[in-house]
Every structure is written in structure tokens, then in C-alpha cells.
């Protein structure tokens, strides 16, 4: 540990383990000496939560994207984008993404990956999508009917209703009965061209900066990063327009993308995501609204949908049960 | 230019040149073929704005922080943090930061730099601050009396009033008559310890992720990054608690920090920041609320204070005038 630097050694404690859980998934992330035992910070709440406060995502919806720097863990959102989720599963099953690359990193916006040889206007170019579809109907939103959103009481700049559904940050509009995954840090969407039905999931992007909520309802969010965001957010930015890399050799190769369900049982890690329909989650949110850390002198009294990281634990060995 | 990838080749055009102006300061940033000539995107508005739409910051308030990867340009905010701005100028004048390092990069939060050898509890450790003060009175906010804020009509999650003052994103509360620089992407603050008066400006951090507005009114924002954010945001994340680097050799050395005013006339670039008290700026904001790009099918109708990048132009040769 380096010398005691003033700022945020305490300030970030509440956010720390939550972030750490998401970023490093160390269930054993050390509790900083700074966190007073009496306080119930978000970190404390998460650490002390019962097993029932965690869910195990469907292994068919969990993807491991291996980059040279490590693994980016992704959870598909079939509830919000069933056609895209199905198409992406097909692409992964036939190893479509293996050997492709991150071709674009635009600062404070998105990292984008796909086939560098692909060409929207020429289906003969680039890798075959096999039995996956080249285009899909738009899945920019779903009906809010029957959708249980763990609502935030806080204001939102862009939507009348915000909250969480199975760990995904969700916005909704009761007037139009639309609900959609918000473009928050870590949200993954399916690239499209000028027409709304030109996306397929073969081209994906992850938000790496201030949430570009202006994209909401304009493109299909299909997944979110569970762990490994820092592997995408710390990539060199591209020098071309919109952050495309100048030279092909700058592209960041994707070693492989595989589904958790396709990994051999023994090698399959235990992936758990903090549930967002529990009292513990409500307590986490409240602790983020009004930080318990002694460092804080002014409780914000509010939190933004995109400021909340849903904790994730990914452990190498599956538990006995 | 790589192959035509669908997503955002058009979507980001409006944001692109604005971002490019801030990120690369190429007044000559190429207009993407994608931008239809008739549209007035934010990029168009900025490109076509008269010289009077730009201001030249006081050279005493502009800092160039040279990292191995390039220069991070910074503008101090003496109006909001006069004591810190003065202390930082003193530190820069005596070359305090030269040879120090970025010691902490926490994903989706902050990059922090200062003296790796410093120790809050032991003034004898680390580099001397010379004639600069070791601690300063807190400057978390100023009075809103007489402060002209170019107000946004949009909602904000954290404050009743938001807008811009000389390019700085500002929030305010008419009930308390407080105004402060908001913790947006690119905002620079002065680290502090447990006491509100323990900061000095010798330890600084820049926001590199989703705006942590919960820090507002808890710490002193003292500056903002004008250009070169990507040099901080793309740094490797630290593996220690809160993103501190594991080993000293991972620290990112700061070659030097110098004031624009101290550079020889000939070597001094022309630094211009888009004014935020003009009709052109209002037009930029409106174009961000409701994107003009044909790609968009759903205008957001709103914009978040921290989603707007104030254009900056930094040109190597000073103009004749």
C-alpha cells in the first residue's frame, strides 16, 4: 500500500468494495482499515448480505470475452432484447467472435468490437454470420406491462421512471408504456446503421464514459458488463474519427468469446450478481444517497441511476451446493 | 479509415467534433462525410462560430501537465477556488509537480496525482511545498450572488440549478445561495483528508468516469481538463484499494507541469475555449438535447450537465493578432 494520500482513502470506501466486487470480483476484497466497524457502508451491506441476496444468472446468458489483458464477463439481456440475445448466442456458439477485435475506443463514450473486415454494404466481405441473422427487428424498448422495476425515488434527467431489473439499469415511461435498458457505464448495445433494423449483434459496443443517455430508445441495449470493464475502459483511444484506430495493427484482438454454459463444469466459475429486488439492495442504494463514511460532510440525498454499480462475484471454484 | 462499421458513424457526428476539439484540438478536424451539409449539428455550430464565440483563458490559469504520453491541458478556476488556485500556481512556479506521478487510477472514478513520498501525518516526508501552504480553508462552494450562470433548462438529479460559468459545469442552490463546480468528467479537485481544511492542491484528482456528483460540496473542485483527458482516462487501473498502483514502478511519472504564462512567447500555443454565454453555445446545447443527425429516431429532449463537452482549441502557433 502506498503512502497515505488524503483524498478518498475514506471517501471511496463505500463505493470501493462494490466497485471492487464488480471490477475484481474478489469476495475476499480486503476491508480497508479506514472503514469504521460501526458504519454500514454499501461495502458492509454487500459483504454481510445473505446468499439469498445474490442470484446466479442463466449460464446461457453469461459470456466470457477473453482479451489479451484478461476476461470481460458479460450478461445478455434476453428479457429486453430476445432476438439479439438469441443471435449473439448463435454467433458465440459458432465461435464468430474468436479472433475478431476491438476496433474503436472513443474517449468518454464507447469501446466497440466486431469484424474489422466486415462491410455493411457488401455481405460478401468479412466473416460469415453462419446461421445467425444479418439484421434484426429493432429492440430499443419493451412494454412495461408486468415488468417489475425496483424503482429509484430519485429524479432522472431523461426518463420519468428509473430503477433496476435483474441488475440492469432500466428507464421507463408510463405514458408510452415503454421500458428500456439505460445507456449507463458498462451497458452493451448492438451497433446499427442508418436503418433501425440494420443491427445484428455481430457488432457490439460498451459504454466507457459518462452515460450517453441520448442513445436511449435509438439503439438496442443487449447486455451489460458484469466484470472487467477496466479492460475496455483503459484501452488506448483511437485517433480516427469517432475513436477508430488508425492502423489495423492497433486493433485489440479478441482471443475468444464463450458462453458459461459451454464451459466444462470443472472449469466453470461460480457467477453471482447482487439481486436488485431485495431489502439489502435498497439499503445499498440508500447508503449511496447519503454516504455513511465519516469523510463526507454533505450527504447528496440523491443518486443517479448510472452511479450505482451492482456487485458481482465470480469465483473460480463452484461451491459444493 | 477502417471499414464502415454501423454503429455511431453517424450517431456520434454531433458529439464528434466537439469531443475532437476538446480531445485533439484540431480546428481542422475533418468533417465526416456522414454529416449532411444542411444539418446544423453541434459540430457544425462550433466550426462555423465566429471568433467572438471563443475566449482566451488567462495564461496564469492554464497549466500544461506533461506525461510520457503527451500533454494534459488544465484551466484553474480561481473564481471558485481562489486559495487553491493561488497555492497551485505557487507549487507550479517552484516546479513542485515535476517528477511526481499519477499514483492512483480507479476505474470509472478518478485518476489522482501527487507526491508518492508524501505523508499527511509527517510533514518531514515527501517534497517540500516551499512557499505554498500545506493546508487551506475549504473551497467547496462560493456564493451565487452576482454569479452569472448560463442555466440549463434541464432537470438535474443533484441540484436545483445547473449550467455553465466560463466553460465550467456549475450547480447551484438558490435556497442556500451556494454555487459550485460539479464533479463531471474532466473536473479536477484537490485531495483532502478527514478534515475539510486538510487539502492544499499538492494532491489532485481528475474525474475519469460517470460523474460522481456525490462528491459535490464535500471537496474543492479547483480546475478542469481542457484537453488530454484520454491520457488520464486510458491509464492502467491500479490493483490496490481505490485504484492505487501496486508497485511504485507502476506510477506514471509527471515530466513537468508549467503555466502557459511561463512559457516563452514563441513556444506558447494559442489556447481558446468556447464561450458558454453566447447564442452559439445555447445552440450547441439545444443540438445535444435533440440531435440533428439523421441516425437518431428518438430525440432525447434533454441533456445532462455532465454530458456536454465545452469545445477547446489549442493551436501550436499563436495568430498574428
Q: Which residues pair with A105 in a beta bridge?
A: A111
Q: Is the pLDDT of residue B18 over 60?
A: no
pLDDT at A60: 98
The pLDDT of residue B46 is above 90: yes
Q: Assess if residue B33 is contained within a domain.
A: no
Tell whether B192 lies on the interface with A, counting CB pairs under 8 A. yes
Q: Give domain status of residue A10, yes or no.
A: no
Residue A166 in contact with residue A61, Cβ under 8 Å? no
Chain B environment of A18 (Cβ under 8 Å): none
Give the number of beta-carbon pairs within 8 Å between A and B. 267
**Residue B6 located in a structural domain:** no
Range of the domain at B112: 42-315
As a whole number, mean pLDDT of residues B232-237 equals 98
Dist CA A311 CA A167 (whole Å): 9
Cβ of A5 within 8 Å of Cβ of B103? The answer is yes
Q: Decide which of B208 and B13 is more confident.
A: B208
- Asked if the C-beta of B134 comes within 8 angstroms of chain A's C-beta atoms, the answer is no
Confidence check: pLDDT of B22 > 90 = no
Q: Confirm or reject contact between B156 and chain A (CB < 8 A).
A: yes
DSSP state string for B30-76: PPPTTS-TT---HHHHHHH--GGGEE---GGGEEEEEETTEEEEEEE
- Per the structure, the count of domains in chain A is 1
In a domain, A83, yes or no: yes
Q: Is A294 on the interface with B (CB under 8 A)?
A: yes
B37-62: average pLDDT: 91
* Selection from B140, B138, B139 nearest residue B198 by Cα: B138
The CATH number of residue A134's host domain is 2.40.100.10
d(CA B218, CA B207): 15
Indicate if the pLDDT at residue B319 is higher than 60.
no
Domain-located, residue B11: no
Dihedral sign, CA of B37, B39, B40, B46? negative
- Tell me which chain B residues have a C-beta less than 8 angstroms from the C-beta of A302: 157-158
Q: What is the ipTM of this complex?
A: 0.89
Cα distance between residue A48 and residue A36, in whole Å: 15
Domain membership of residue A261 (yes or no) is: yes
Measured from the Cβ of residue A6, the count of other Cβ atoms closer than 10 Å reads 25
Domain presence at residue B294: yes
State yes or no: pLDDT of B11 exceeds 90: no
Check residue A145 and give its pLDDT. 96
Domain assignment of residue A228, yes or no: yes
Question: Cell digits for A58?
Answer: 442463466
Predicted pLDDT at A319: 52
Q: What is the pLDDT of residues B173-183, one digit of tens each?
A: 999 999 999 99
Nearest CA in chain A to B109: A12
Residue with cell string 483563458: B57
Amino acid at each position: 500500500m502506498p503512502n497515505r494520500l488524503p483524498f478518498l482513502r475514506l471517501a471511496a470506501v463505500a463505493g470501493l468494495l462494490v466497485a471492487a466486487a464488480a471490477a475484481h470480483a474478489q469476495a475476499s476484497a480486503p476491508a480497508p482499515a479506514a472503514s469504521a466497524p460501526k458504519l454500514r457502508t454499501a461495502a458492509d451491506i454487500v459483504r454481510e448480505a445473505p446468499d439469498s441476496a445474490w442470484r446466479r444468472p442463466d449460464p446461457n446468458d453469461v459470456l466470457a470475452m477473453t482479451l489479451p489483458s484478461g476476461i470481460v464477463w458479460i450478461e445478455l439481456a434476453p428479457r429486453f432484447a430476445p432476438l439479439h440475445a438469441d443471435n449473439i448466442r448463435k454467433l458465440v456458439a459458432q465461435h464468430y467472435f474468436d479472433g475478431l477485435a476491438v476496433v474503436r475506443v472513443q474517449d468518454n463514450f464507447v469501446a466497440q468490437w466486431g469484424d474489422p473486415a466486415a462491410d455493411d454494404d457488401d455481405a460478401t466481405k468479412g466473416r460469415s454470420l453462419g446461421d445467425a441473422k444479418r439484421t434484426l427487428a429493432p429492440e430499443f424498448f419493451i412494454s412495461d406491462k408486468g415488468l417489475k422495476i425496483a424503482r429509484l425515488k430519485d429524479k432522472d434527467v431523461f426518463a420519468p421512471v428509473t430503477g433496476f431489473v435483474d441488475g440492469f439499469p432500466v428507464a421507463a415511461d408510463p405514458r408510452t408504456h415503454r421500458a428500456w435498458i439505460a445507456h449507463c457505464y458498462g451497458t452493451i448495445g448492438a451497433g446499427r446503421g442508418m436503418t433501425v433494423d440494420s443491427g445484428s449483434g455481430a457488432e457490439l459496443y460498451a459504454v466507457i464514459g459518462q452515460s450517453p443517455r441520448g442513445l436511449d430508445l435509438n439503439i438496442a441495449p443487449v447486455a451489460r458488463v458484469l466484470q472487467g470493464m477496466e479492460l475496455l475502459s483503459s484501452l488506448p483511444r483511437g485517433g480516427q474519427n469517432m475513436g477508430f484506430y488508425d492502423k489495423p495493427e492497433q486493433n485489440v484482438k479478441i482471443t475468444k468469446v464463450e458462453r458459461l454454459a459451454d464451459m466444462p463444469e470443472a472449469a466453470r466459475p461460480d457467477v453471482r450478481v447482487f439481486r436488485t429486488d431485495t431489502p439489502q439492495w435498497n439499503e445499498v442504494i440508500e447508503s449511496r444517497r447519503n454516504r455513511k463514511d465519516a469523510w463526507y460532510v454533505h450527504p447528496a440525498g440523491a443518486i443517479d441511476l448510472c452511479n450505482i454499480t451492482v456487485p458481482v462475484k465470480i469465483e473460480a471454484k463452484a461451491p459444493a451446493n
